[in-house]
């Protein structure tokens, strides 16, 4: 299973763009990269998933360089409600492989 | 909306008791998962199930068992609860849709074993 490394914490201010980078040097050819968000006292919530280049949805963008050894979750114009823990996961795009949630990145957005 | 519900938000049990944690999903997902979450350790996978009556060990299955008799229900069983099983337990169901695999989590059960 590919291991991921993320910063433990990040601070930002409302309205700023936040970029959280995840390192996954031993990602396998068939692995996808997925990001989840978790608020206190709640289960994680899916944000975005990608395989290569760039993926964008209504809440975030995911940038994946050609070598796929890292990825960056980009949150545009964060608000206080984006304060949460963000997890980067690497694994097959099916339910047939254990996905490993690391300790995540704790993002604190201040006014 | 997908809904994953867990039988209790908070549970207090005594050492040695048999504990059942129930999880129900309403979206006909084949895959279901049990995790525990502890400070500084993130989420760790206990067991998962591909489909009814099928189960696979996760990273920390010791001291736990599971049951999946119906597609919508996945139960986690602590055969003899111990204090080191005090934790937040999270259930999830998963599906593959339009090229994306997504897990949907329940609200969690905070279990305290005394």
What pLDDT digit, counting tens, does each position of A20-37 carry?
999 999 898 888 999 999
pLDDT of res. B77: 98
pLDDT of res. A95: 56
Query: Longest Cα pair distance anywhere in chain B, in angstroms?
Result: 45
The verdict on B50 touching A (C-beta cutoff 8 Å) is: yes
For chain B, residues with pLDDT lower than 50 are none
A13-22 core/surface letters (b: 16 or more CB in 10 A; e: else): eeeeebebbb
Average pLDDT over chain A, rounded to whole? 91
3-state helix, strand, coil in chain A (%, to 5): 5, 50, 50
pLDDT of res. A97: 61
Report the residue from A43, A46, A93 with minimal CB separation from B108: A43
pLDDT of res. B95: 81
Average the pLDDT over A45-68 and give the result: 94
**B100-105 and B87-97 strand pairing:** antiparallel
Q: What's phi and psi for A55, nearest 5 deg?
A: -125, 135
Mutation site, A1, A41, A43, interface B, largest B CB count within 10 A = A43
DSSP β-bridge partners for residue B71: none
Average the pLDDT over A44-70 and give the result: 94
- Comparing CA positions, the residue from B31, B72, B64 lying closest to residue B46 is B64
> Is B41 strand, coil or helix?
coil
Report the residue from B42, B91, B101 with minimal CB separation from A101: B42
Q: Measure the CA–CA gap between B58 and B96, rounded to whole angstroms.
A: 20
pLDDT of res. B18: 97
pLDDT single digits (tens) A35-56: 999 998 899 999 999 999 999 9
A76 or A97, which is more confident: A76
CA distance A111 to chain B (A): 27
Q: Which two tokens stand for residue A95?
A: 């339910």
Which DSSP symbol is given to A67?
T
CB B55 within 8 A of CB B46: no
How much of chain A, in percent, has pLDDT values that exceed 90? 74
């Amino acid at each position: 299973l590919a291991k991921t490394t993320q910063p433990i914490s990040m601070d930002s201010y409302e309205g700023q763009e936040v970029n959280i980078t995840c390192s996954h040097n031993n990602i396998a050819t068939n692995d996808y990269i997925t990001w989840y968000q978790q608020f206190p006292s709640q289960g994680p919530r899916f944000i975005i998933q990608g395989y290569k280049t760039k993926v964008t949805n209504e809440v975030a963008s995911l940038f994946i360089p050609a070598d796929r050894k890292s990825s960056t979750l980009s949150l545009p114009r964060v608000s206080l409600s984006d304060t949460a823990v963000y997890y980067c996961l690497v694994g097959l795009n099916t339910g047939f492989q254990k996905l490993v949630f690391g300790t995540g990145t704790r993002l604190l957005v201040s006014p | 909306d997908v809904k994953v519900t867990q039988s209790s938000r908070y549970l207090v049990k005594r050492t040695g008791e048999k504990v059942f944690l129930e999880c129900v999903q309403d979206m006909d997902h084949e895959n279901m998962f049990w995790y525990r979450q502890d400070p500084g350790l993130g989420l760790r996978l206990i067991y998962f199930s591909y489909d009814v009556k099928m189960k696979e060990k996760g990273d920390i299955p010791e001291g736990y068992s599971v049951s999946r008799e119906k597609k919508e229900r996945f139960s986690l069983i602590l055969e003899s609860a111990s204090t080191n099983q005090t934790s937040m337990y999270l259930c999830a169901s998963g599906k593959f849709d339009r090229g994306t695999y997504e897990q949907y989590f329940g609200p969690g059960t905070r279990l305290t074993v005394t």
